[in-house]
Amino acid sequence: MQAPQTSLNLYLKRRRRRRIIIIISGLCFMVVIVALIFYALQDKAGFFRIPSDITAADKISHRLLRLGGYVENGSVKRETGANIRFYVTDFHHKQEVRFNGILPDLFREGQGVIAEGRFADNGVFIADRVLAKHDEKYVPKDVADRIKAAEGRETKNSLPGRAVLPDK
C-alpha cells in the first residue's frame, strides 16, 4: 500500500510545482508587458503647466510639455513665413512661445491657449501644436485655482468643478 501513496504524493508535488511555475511565468509576463507600455509612452506623455509652474528643470529636460494660459495682449508678432512669436501668460508670469505653422481660427490676443512642444536651449518654448480655447470664461477648476494662486488670490467658486475667471 506504500507505493500508491508515494506515487500519488509525487503526482501532487509535480502538479503543485507546475502550477507555481505557471503563476510565476504569468506574473513575469505581465511585468514585462507593463514595462513595455511605460517605455513606449514615456515620450508621449504631456504635462500641463502654466507659466508660473515652469521650473528650470522643465526648461532643460527637453521633454514634451503642454503650456497653457492666455495670449498676452500686444505680444503676437508675425515673422517671416509662417513663424509666429507670442507670449503665454497666467497674469503673473509670462513665457515666450514660437510656432511655425497655421494657427487655429480662434487664436487671438487675450484668448485662452494651449501650446504643445518643448523648450529650446535658450529658454524659449517651441510649440509643435497650438490649440485655442473657444471660450475664455470657462476654465477647469484646477487650472483656475492654480492661476488664482499664482496671482495670490483665494478661489471662490459657486459651482463645484467649474470656475469663472473675472474679467481683466
55-85 pLDDT, tens digit each? 888 888 888 888 999 999 999 999 888 899 9
Specify whether 37 is located in the same domain as 51.
no
Specify whether 30 is located in the same domain as 59.
no
pLDDT at 5: 66
pLDDT at 141: 75
Q: How confident is the model at residue 163 (pLDDT cuts 50, 70, 90)?
A: very low
- Determine the structural domain holding residue 3 and report its residue range: 1-42
Looking at residues 137-162, what average pLDDT do you find?
A: 63
The Cα 99–Cα 118 span in angstroms is 11
Specify whether 61 is located in the same domain as 135.
yes
What DSSP character marks residue 84?
E
Specify whether 68 is located in the same domain as 52.
yes
CB proximity list for 70: less than 8 A, separation 6 or greater: 88, 89, 90, 91, 110, 111, 112, 113, 136
pLDDT at 138: 62
Specify whether 33 is located in the same domain as 71.
no
The pTM of the full predicted model, rounded to 2 decimals, is: 0.57
Specify whether 33 is located in the same domain as 87.
no
Pair 141, 161: CB distance under 8 Å: yes
**Residue whose cell numbers read 471662490:** 156
The Cα 97–Cα 126 span in angstroms is 6
Q: How confident is the model at residue 160 (pLDDT cuts 50, 70, 90)?
A: very low
Q: How is residue 87 written as a grid cell?
A: 507670449
The Cα 112–Cα 106 span in angstroms is 9
More confident residue, 124 or 140: 124
Distance of CA 48 to the CA centre of its chain: 5
Cβ neighbours, 10 Å, residue 148: 21
- What is the signed CA dihedral for 160, 162, 167, 168, rounded to 10 degrees? 100
Specify whether 89 is located in the same domain as 139.
yes
Q: How confident is the model at residue 47 (pLDDT cuts 50, 70, 90)?
A: low
- Asked whether residue 90 carries a pLDDT value surpassing 70, the answer given is yes
Specify whether 100 is located in the same domain as 131.
yes
Q: Give the residue ranges of DSSP H helices in 62-163.
A: 141-151
